Amino acid sequence: MSAVQYRVLDGRAVHASEGPDDAEVTMSIARDIALSDGFEADIEFMRGRLKVTGPTSGVFAALRSNGATTTLLRLASPS
């Protein structure tokens, strides 16, 4: 699987991120969307609210593993 960087945004500013800066795949979502009830990264990707860059195979691998949902929820949660 490709290296992934996850980003949770507050407006245009990065609230929290995890993963290497040179990752092949990046996933970004607004914090309020990630904190909404029933958040699932794959559904938000299909709705166009989870922004991704990188090779499609790496994006789909990260979404399939359910690691994207877990990681983005953790990063969005209040510290």
Q: Rg of the Cα trace of the chain?
A: 11
Confidence grade of residue 78 (pLDDT, cut at 50, 70, 90): confident
**Mean pLDDT for the stretch of residues 62-76:** 91
In the CATH hierarchy, which fold is given to the domain comprising 4-76?
Nonspecific Lipid-transfer Protein; Chain A (3.30.1050)
Which pLDDT score is estimated for 74?
Answer: 95
Which pLDDT score is estimated for 66?
Answer: 78
Residue 10 corresponds to which tokens in the numbers above?
Answer: 């507050």
Residue 41 corresponds to which tokens in the numbers above?
Answer: 């990264």
- Could you report the per-residue pLDDT of 25-62, keeping only the tens digit for each? 999 999 999 999 999 999 999 999 999 999 988 889 88
Is 0.95 topped by the overall pTM? no
Nearest 5°: phi and psi at 74? -65, -45
Domain spans in the chain, listed from the N-terminal domain onward: 4-76
Question: Is the CA virtual torsion 20, 26, 31, 34 positive or negative?
Answer: negative
